[in-house]
Structure 1
């Protein structure tokens, strides 16, 4: 399962590839071209065929854009990737902080009035294009075929992974019932579905078109009369049997654009996720286009009782694998391991469960300064030894048929300094604050995010990423629309699974992050309570937190009580799942503070 960057891209080829793209621009009479990290389905993760940003620039982060002009090429990344982008992109590319600097503002600054910038309409959303057009009055945005594909010799073929059904006893609801339920609530005659995880959830399908995410590529039309037209290659569906049933009609994906043009009546698209090409095809036909949120997003986010039970089971299985790994790790002498050794050992423990379908993302194993790179990916070139006195940040997860896991633990390697312990304890206080939170129904991530940061703010510290993201049920490890972040505007509802992962990063020195998964549930009534419909989180992840890094005097009494109770639950739930040295380690690691 372990892959290095060298397996998929060659960053030292950035300059000749950039030169070839600029030559293609001149041939098309264009002054620039926008290269997003996106595919036609607008999911967060892309198949090798669609990883154009990495192929062109060498940057392998999960979000970003490149704008190539004739004399400058900017790579736009957010705060998670500012360190990584400087390390990865060739000298000919200019890192640009986003969203502090917007693409349109940067283009307007670097292009003269009347400039022409090309873009692939399949790779940009309707909302994204509208925002760019509004800010680029003097620059023309030109629809184009993909110029990167034109120069990418040896580009991998589009993914054609086999599709299989997710059984009802794991999904909790038959897909025919989902179709009928969503169709009844449509505000249009047809709704266009383009997101891979929405398609997978709606039809109880899973696939392998995107690395680490069990989703198939395809498109669908959900009709108000409870029919679905699925645009997907027959070759992917050959092992599916009669799973789809009579309410689903399959058509070749090449017919999708023509089918859109042929629609009449009212058609809903989600402008935040639908490609511009979808809107263009509808505009060529007679349909009345309406903008509406993807109808699958909220129902998918609200996990049913079966999915939540599956998540609990998956996390216990995964927690036992983590305990075996952490026990092994603590037994290794400092300096004897490299970051890749850590990745291989952890992935081996998950495979040993005999239930792992895949890891849920590329394992992050960052020792010392590498831990400060939020989404660090170790390669053969960057592989570092895990030395005494360092912090080791390990962020990982597994895909199981009953649930998706995502956990981060920061581990002391030998004795570490007071500064690191102080920062770790403040991060822990934030994680506990979220875990203990109770709030009135109707609040969103932006209302709770500050709870995770107060202890850090008191010391003049902070972190640049959100505190948590949504997580799927044997689906994408990053799932919307809920977020535990300043930008999270979707109210939390029972059944939503999120990560709880505050952190702190000292560039060039160390990184700290502690992450559990949590699920929203109704809060128990309290005596004298006047607020109705309070909500709270149930913790799903049970793996010990490194007590060696905690300054007990920084914790309040309720925080110490929470931690001791959490560790007692870890011991009670995992002791029967591990044995020998791992069980002995678990007993020591979960002792009261």
Structure 2
């Protein structure tokens, strides 16, 4: 009989831990590839607790349990997770290791799955726990999997070729470039386990993870440019095999750990400590290999888009912009009449995207938040939370599509009339807009990092004594992950990943400042931007700026015109003129008339 309640699941896991003579266990949202989004089989935290966010972890003991999430999920975790079973903890203020140490008995043995955590996490947690006389131990196998009786199996969907015309470079050339680096550094090989890095390196895509076109597999790339690709062989069609040629050996994915232990004795391998699980390091070292900590060599070249990828991004954005505009026109007609709720809005937007071209998937679950739901930056609507778009309310929609030539991500905030928005809403929206414009217009010297640019987007909110709790910008892949490193625009404190990364020409980032008033409304304006070279008369050194890639009208109703400077109004007018030029040829009838009005100058 399958366990239907989260209380029963928690009880079953505790009994399994007791059977294994373990006193506690840690459950992250993760898979064997340290992915942000994971396949259904790896949704262990959601199965155990009910939490459906994309970041979080849990710790449980025999008599206590806690779930740890950051500020993006403060409301969501309380809606989805039973507070009588789980304590709510906020990171980074609350430390999971500290919580375990303070609540576990002396001599307790806390288990973790080394295939779901980095070595750095395990070492740091073990050090903290040792201070409480508590031991962190590796689980021989995941105890949660032992009690998840109807756990889905990993996807068996076939992979497919990403055409070189869209990729802009052959897999052989990519492998050769990384092989040169291996030779220069005197490494025998490198382990690549991040799924988007594997897909980029081999010019393949898959459907194993929802919203991210990747396949569950690993690559070990050797100094001579050959590679061992660990993937279920049945997932590899003949056309993929022919494209890769004899230099890529296809080996069973379930043989990966054994190969690490047996094939690399005496070899020196580069392994990314942030993108590779602890078990990989342990298996290599158990087999006599030397591991050297180094960033995944595919990460930076993947982030720096080539001309073909940039052309594809512009083309996909143009189609996507028309789809979103059709949706916004529909919304302007239907919502004021009370005929739209969050679920129907998300479904209509998906329909518009499907009708615009070769949509393969959404790039993430659409954030469709009306009124107070919009105040949760990572809100995910469901039947229980679904709200009507009420007259005279704020509606936030953050969405994106996966197309063979590009990945899109856009947020628009809309006023559902018929009355004029309140002064507070217009003030906050306009401050968000001013920050968006400031970042979009900024020119910066080579060597600048995302952390150095972040304040530009927040400055006008700070002047009003308010802020937002998420980053300002993330990297975006090319028909790959919608959140792609290593670049990031955000606050630099606490060593947040990516904020110190130097920005290079060809990188794509989001520009998405926001404001959220709990229990009332949320505001965010998001476009994607491309880093390009800029020429400045008399400049000394190399300078960059942003080319805007996303073109969809921004709701003029929410703008407090008097808060904008002349330069900001000029930006608005030039942006909307470009929106009209790109989208008008794709639209007709009432939608075209709506666009004409939406793009009128301020």
Please give the range of the TM-score, normalised by the shorter of the 2 chains: over 0.9
Which digits, 9 at most, give the CA deviation of each residue in 1:256-288, with x for residues without a partner? 111111203201111111111111111211211
Q: Which runs of 4+ in 1 moved over 3 A?
A: none
Structure 1 regions of 5+ residues with no counterpart?
Answer: 1-8
Secondary structure of residue in 2 paired with 1:511: strand
Secondary structure of residue in 2 paired with 1:289: strand
Q: Which residue of structure 1 aligns with residue 176 of structure 2? A: 180
Q: Which residue of structure 2 aligns with residue 331 of structure 1? A: 333
Q: TM-score, structure 1 length as denominator?
A: 0.97
- Residue number among 444, 457, 460 corresponding to 2:465 in the alignment: 460
CA distance, structure 2, for counterparts of residue 341 and residue 357 of structure 1: 20
Quick check: 2:207–2:213 contact (8 Å CA) kept in 1?
yes
Structure 2 regions of 5+ residues with no counterpart?
Answer: none
Q: TM-score, structure 2 length as denominator?
A: 0.95
Secondary structure of residue in 2 paired with 1:221: strand
Paired residues in the alignment total 582
Shift of 1:555: 1.0
Quick check: 1:334–1:413 contact (8 Å CA) kept in 2?
no
CA distance, structure 2, for counterparts of residue 242 and residue 556 of structure 1: 58
1:152-191 pair list within 5 angstroms = 152-186=148-182, 187=185, 188-191=187-190
CA distance, structure 1, for counterparts of residue 303 and residue 216 of structure 2: 20
Q: Which residue of structure 2 aligns with residue 3 of structure 1? A: none
**Aligned: 1:206 with 2:216:** no
**Aligned: 1:30 with 2:22:** yes
Which digits, 9 at most, give the CA deviation of each residue in 1:43-64, with x for residues without a partner? 1010000000000001011111
Shift of 1:238: 2.5
CA distance, structure 1, for counterparts of residue 519 and residue 298 of structure 2: 42
1:84-483 pair list within 5 angstroms = 84-91=76-83, 92-137=85-130, 138-144=133-139, 145-186=141-182, 187=185, 188-239=187-238, 240-262=240-262, 263-264=264-265, 265-332=267-334, 333-414=336-417, 415=419, 416-483=421-488
Quick check: 2:319–2:357 contact (8 Å CA) kept in 1?
no
Quick check: 2:160–2:237 contact (8 Å CA) kept in 1?
no
- Residue number among 509, 529, 536 corresponding to 1:526 in the alignment: 536
CA distance, structure 1, for counterparts of residue 241 and residue 220 of structure 2: 21
What's the RMSD between the two structures over aligned residues?
A: 1.3
Deviates more, 1:531-540 or 1:173-182: 531-540
**Aligned: 1:565 with 2:565:** no
CA distance, structure 2, for counterparts of residue 323 and residue 354 of structure 1: 14
Quick check: 2:342–2:388 contact (8 Å CA) kept in 1?
yes
Quick check: 1:126–1:273 contact (8 Å CA) kept in 2?
no
CA distance, structure 1, for counterparts of residue 341 and residue 427 of structure 2: 26
CA distance, structure 2, for counterparts of residue 399 and residue 464 of structure 1: 27
Quick check: 1:360–1:396 contact (8 Å CA) kept in 2?
yes
Shift of 1:241: 4.5
CA distance, structure 1, for counterparts of residue 36 and residue 471 of structure 2: 16
Secondary structure of residue in 2 paired with 1:587: helix
Which digits, 9 at most, give the CA deviation of each residue in 1:492-550, with x for residues without a partner? 10111111111111111101111000111111x22233x31111111100001000000
Secondary structure of residue in 1 paired with 2:243: coil
Which digits, 9 at most, give the CA deviation of each residue in 1:443-476, with x for residues without a partner? 1111001111000000011000000111000001
Shift of 1:135: 2.1
